[in-house]
Copies of this chain bind each other. A is one copy, B any other.
Amino acid sequence: MSRSVDVALRWSDMDAYGHVNNVQFLRLLEDARVAAFAEWFDEDRSMLDSGVLVARHEIEYLAPLVFRHAPVRIMLWPTAIAGASFDVAYEVRDPDEVGEQLYARAETSLVAYDFARSAPRRLDPRERAVLQGLAGEPVAFRWRRR
C-alpha cells in the first residue's frame, strides 16, 4: 500500500496572485485522501463512505506553487491512531522527476463516524491494522513551535 498520491493541478487552482491559492492546497489534500483511502481500505467502499469526519486541519506553507502540467506528489501517512480517531500527516512535493521542492506540510484529524447512526464509532480491527501498518512520524510544524 502506497503513502504517495500524485494529484493533477487545475489552472483554476491559481488565484489573482498567480499562485496556487492557499485554500486550494486543502482541496488537493482532500483528493489525495480520497485516493489513498480507496487503496488503503477498500476499492469500492472507501473509509470516506463507511466513514470518517474531518475534525481539524493544520497546514504550513513553505514555497509558492504555480500551475504546471506536472502533478504534485502528496505523501500521506497515519499518525496518532487512537480508539475512534487518527491523524493523517501530509507533505506536498514535486514528483522526483520534476524537482525537490517541498511546498507545504499539513495534518488532518479524522474521527471515525457511523453515518447510519449519526454517531462516532470505534475504528474496527481491520481499519486499525491498516493504519498501524502505514503509520509514521507526526508532522514537525515549524510555526507552532515559535
Find chain B residues with CB under 8 A from A56 CB: 58-61, 141, 143
Q: By the criterion of a CB under 8 Å from any partner CB, how many residues of chain A are at the interface?
A: 34
Q: Which of A18-26, A92-100, A124-132 forms contacts with chain B?
A: A18-26
- A69-89 interface (Cβ within 8 A of B): 69
**A16 near B23 (CB under 8 angstroms)?**
no
List the B residue with the shortest CB-CB distance to A109: B143
Cross-chain contact of A8 among B8, B14, B53, B143 (Cβ < 8 A):
B8
Interface pairs A-B: 5 shortest CB-CB: A14-B16, A22-B54, A23-B26, A58-B58, A11-B34
Given contacts A16-B18, A22-B26, A56-B141, 9 further A-B contacts (CB under 8 A): A11-B30, A12-B27, A12-B30, A22-B57, A23-B23, A23-B30, A38-B69, A53-B61, A56-B61
A-B residue pairs in contact (CB < 8 Å), sample of 20: A10-B30, A11-B16, A11-B31, A11-B34, A11-B48, A12-B21, A12-B31, A14-B15, A14-B16, A15-B15, A15-B16, A22-B26, A22-B54, A23-B23, A23-B30, A26-B57, A54-B61, A55-B60, A55-B61, A56-B59
